[in-house]
Chains A and B, each alone.
Chain A
Amino acid sequence: MLYRFWIAYLTITRKEIMRFARIWVQTIIPPVVMVALYFIIFGNLIGQRIGEMDGMLYVDFIMPGLVMMSIITNSYTNVVSSFYGAKYSRHIEEMQIAPVPDIVILLGFVTGGMVRGISVGIAVTLVSLLFTEFSIHNPLIVLLVALLTSCLFALAGLINAIFANSFDDITIIPTFVLTPLTYLGGIFYSIKLLPEFWQQVSLGNPILYMVNSFRYGFRGTSDIDLFTAIVVILFFIALLFSVSLTLLARGTGIRQ
């Protein structure tokens, strides 16, 4: 039985990877171009006037955050668009009719989102080499945080898609929630620059923990304690995993 579930999982994952790989010009290239522009404008042109941030060149400071932003956006977008597309054109029924447990469907979609997030993250990291010197303080931390963050936002994308009733619904959360939280998540600045009150407010933003732990992996410096950051990410993964599994089991948005 487990072998059959394993085949089903591999099928969903492969299908998800093929979906974005087939249209790589639309899925992989645009985020790379966008981040390259960030490096040129904020890293080089404006960054040279800013000087140092947290004891490093500004372009080196923003590099991990920009990679993380790409991972977050792409793992989220992949699952939300793929799952909602499957709902909209009803081919999600192919999996519902088959003897595939909900957890296998969930893991398949999430893995697809993670693969896209990590693929774009690698592409963006390669582009960053044109603007910064490559140095990794702790590769395991970089890998761990990248995997956990992509998993978390793939789950968030799935929940968005489950509740979405139109294509507008799958753009509202990224536009009005995800983007502001990402920009305010310490990509472009250290929260130490903020007044005490806003530093405390910033601690309520989960993306801050991901960006800082990722920056720690690359540069060895962080505004947040690494252990706390990992625990926060794991907590949100556990929470969103339970929510999405419950929603799939209830058939919310996919079964009448």
Chain B
Amino acid sequence: MLALEISNLHKTYASGLQALKGIDLQVEEGDFFALLGPNGAGKSTCIGIISGLVNKTSGDVKIFGHSIDEEFILAKSMLGSVPQEFNFNTFEPVQEIITNQAGFYGVPARIARQQTEHYLKQLGLWQHRRSQARRLSGGMKRRLMIARAMVHKPRLLILDEPTAGVDIELRRSMWDFLEQINDQGTTIILTTHYLEEAERMCRNIAIIDEGNIIQNTSMKLLLKQLNSETFVLYLRDDLEQAPKLASFDNIVTLDHHSIEVEVPKRRSINDLISELEAQNIVVERMRNKVNRLEELFVKLTTKTKKEGAA
């Protein structure tokens, strides 16, 4: 079954800005789906329409088969949403924010209290339950929004940059939590600028740019499109200028001890090391310049912009 089905969705703001230009998108039940795109690409507009915060210009959106227009009560009751910006009353106690949200979804008070305790404990906020939300740290506020979105046990959870500004340790604990609820059956749609996050967790992906979906495929298939990867090599000895290698064209000297090499898909790292060794250049360490998805993402969105400019 489809958790989310978007057909020919358009959004033009009063200013004339065309944020969405007729996108189609399908997300299967149980999926962990990445919706990526540069700033201003239309991601948040799309999520805003699904969540009922933005009026669409035209098109259809269905959540588990229920239209957000004709069956908005059913559609919304299956959806949980974690927005990009903090949107809770910062003067309210943490526990009250969560139980109130459960109440808005029609969850009876006793169950709401149980659910609130469950998610606050799971997300490490139980000891702060009586604190006003404004007293929480940035990371805690993010977790508060996740607990709030989960309190009515949605079947589809949309997270708009949930780990923005969150430290590494906390980010990893949030990843574990999201993977856990996904394993338990919750469909998750994630937007993020940390592409390592998307590559690690998501099985399918759509890339949106300038209001159009430019890629919609599985993560594995997308990464296969990557024709080359760029590596940074740290050398043992000083190097005055970039070495000339027969099989590798794009070599850039970063400093006397490190170079950047683009390795085409048809070549292996062994080929590169061998050619360098033949010139008495010893590689001490190496790393990916950026992660694979990031490399592909930049290529795809740059290509769209070039085509748009042309």
Interface residues in chain A, defined as those with a beta carbon under 8 Å from any beta carbon in chain B: 1, 3-5, 7-8, 10-12, 14-15, 18, 85-86, 89-91, 93-101, 251, 255-256
Contacts and interface: CB of A to CB of B under 8 A. Distances in A.
A101 B73 contact: yes
A90 B83 CA distance: 11
Nearest to A15: B100
Contacts of A256: 13-14, 48, 53-55
A90 B88 CA distance: 7
A85 B75 CA distance: 28
A118 to B, nearest CB: 23
A94 B72 contact: no
A86 B52 contact: no
B106 A90 contact: no
Nearest to A1: B73
A98 B87 contact: no
B107 interface: yes
Nearest to B75: A99
By Cβ-Cβ distance, the 3 closest A-B pairs, closest first, are: A4-B106, A11-B103, A98-B104
Residue of A11, A12, A85 contacting most chain B CB atoms (<10 Å): A11
B105 interface: yes
A1 B77 CA distance: 11
B55 A10 contact: no
B103 A255 contact: no
A251 B106 CA distance: 22
A3 to B, nearest CB: 7
A11 B100 contact: yes
A94 B80 CA distance: 10
A5 B106 contact: yes
Contacts of B51: 93, 96-97
A3 B53 contact: no
A8 B104 contact: yes
Nearest to A104: B104
B106 A3 contact: yes
Given A7-B109, A85-B89, 6 more contacts: A8-B105, A86-B89, A90-B87, A96-B53, A98-B105, A256-B55
A255 B105 CA distance: 20
B55 A255 contact: yes
B76 interface: yes
Contact of B101 (A1, A4, A98, A251): A98
B85 interface: yes
Q: How large is the interface on B (under 10, 10 to 19, 20 to 34, 35 or more residues)?
A: 35 or more
A208 B96 CA distance: 41
Contact of A99 (B81, B87, B90, B105): B105
B42 to A, nearest CB: 13
B55 A91 contact: no
A8 B103 contact: yes
Contacts of A10: 103
Given A4-B105, A99-B106, A255-B54, A91 B73 contact: no
A95 B76 CA distance: 11
Contact of B53 (A1, A11, A12, A93): A93
B87 A94 contact: yes
Contacts of A101: 73
A99 B73 contact: yes
A90 B85 contact: yes
A97 B152 CA distance: 12
Contact of A98 (B14, B76, B96, B97): B76
Nearest to A23: B91
Contacts of B88: 91, 94
Contacts of A11: 100, 103-104
B53 A99 contact: no
B79 A97 contact: yes
Interface string B195-209: 000000000000000
Contacts of A85: 89
B77 A93 contact: no
B108 interface: yes
Contacts of B105: 4, 8, 98-99
B53 A94 contact: no
B52 A97 contact: yes
A100 B101 CA distance: 11
Contact of A93 (B55, B74, B87, B106): B87
B144 to A, nearest CB: 12
Contacts of B53: 93, 96-97, 255-256
8 contacts: A14-B103, A89-B90, A94-B97, A94-B104, A96-B53, A100-B104, A255-B55, A256-B54
Nearest to B71: A99
